[in-house]
Chain A
């Protein structure tokens, strides 16, 4: 089974600054990687799929990159509504696997 590892566990960022989150797969997942945003008490929201394709309605300040085993989610200028937990998911191999998440908090 593929293990997804995210870093850092917590990222402290000031509003308006850039946030860069990492996700690493234990073996290649090609570009079959998704990113989700999760806020307390809410369902996960799909942000990115195919490593770099924004889902419907997702603002352009969210961007994804990478392939193989190393992936990055970048939020170019953090808005107040962006402070949340972000997790990645591989869907290249069974079973699909999620990372543990990175919490983006206000600095």
Chain B
């Protein structure tokens, strides 16, 4: 059974960098699937942040592309998100997820529980 778990600070100051990690168990992230980050601001819908594959292919949301960076650590079977210059608008529950069907643009079949990140001074 594939399991994902997000971790990182729950509080980030405005203008600083938000950093989150997604630990994957039950499947090797070096194998054939893509992995993604999605966020959900309080009371709003889901927003795709981006998708990564083995660290050599990344796809970012056009609205976040200038501030977001993904990375993969295959030795720890985890992948990470960095979002720079955060504002209150970046306050959200952040989810990591697996992209289904071994293709970069598909649905998300396994999700982490999500972690709330609040941007506030």
**Cβ distance A51 to chain B, nearest Cβ, rounded Å:** 11
Q: Does B61 contact A (CB under 8 A)?
A: yes
> In the bound complex, do residue B105 and residue A96 qualify as a contact, i.e. CB atoms below 8 Å apart?
yes
With a cutoff of 8 Å between Cβ atoms, the chain A residues found around residue B114 in the complex are: 43
Which residue from A44, A89, A91, A95 sits with its C-beta under 8 Å from B111? A44
> In the bound complex, do residue B107 and residue A89 qualify as a contact, i.e. CB atoms below 8 Å apart?
yes
Q: Does B27 contact A (CB under 8 A)?
A: no
With both beta carbons as reference points, the residue of chain A lying nearest to B50 in the complex is identified as A95
With a cutoff of 8 Å between Cβ atoms, the chain B residues found around residue A36 in the complex are: 46, 108
**Cβ distance A40 to chain B, nearest Cβ, rounded Å:** 11
> In the bound complex, do residue B105 and residue A94 qualify as a contact, i.e. CB atoms below 8 Å apart?
yes
Contact-size category for B: 20 to 34
Number of A-B residue pairs at CB separation under 8 A? 52
**Cβ distance B22 to chain A, nearest Cβ, rounded Å:** 12
> In the bound complex, do residue A44 and residue B45 qualify as a contact, i.e. CB atoms below 8 Å apart?
no
**Cβ distance B16 to chain A, nearest Cβ, rounded Å:** 25
Main secondary structure of the interface of A (DSSP, over half): loop
A104 and B45 CA atoms in complex are apart in Å by: 15
> In the bound complex, do residue A89 and residue B46 qualify as a contact, i.e. CB atoms below 8 Å apart?
yes
Most buried by B among A36, A44, A92, A101: A44
Most buried by A among B47, B48, B59: B48
> In the bound complex, do residue A46 and residue B108 qualify as a contact, i.e. CB atoms below 8 Å apart?
yes
> In the bound complex, do residue A44 and residue B105 qualify as a contact, i.e. CB atoms below 8 Å apart?
no
Q: Does B79 contact A (CB under 8 A)?
A: no
With both beta carbons as reference points, the residue of chain B lying nearest to A85 in the complex is identified as B45
Given contacts A43-B111, A44-B108, A91-B105, contact A98 B95 (CB under 8 A): no
Q: Does A15 contact B (CB under 8 A)?
A: no
What are 13 of the A-B contact pairs (CB < 8 Å)?
A1-B62, A34-B108, A42-B113, A44-B46, A46-B108, A49-B109, A89-B107, A91-B105, A92-B105, A94-B59, A95-B62, A96-B48, A101-B45
Which A residues lie at the B interface, using CB under 8 A? 1, 34, 36, 42-46, 49, 55, 87, 89, 91-92, 94-101
Which B residues lie at the A interface, using CB under 8 A? 38, 44-48, 59, 61-62, 95, 100, 105-109, 111-114
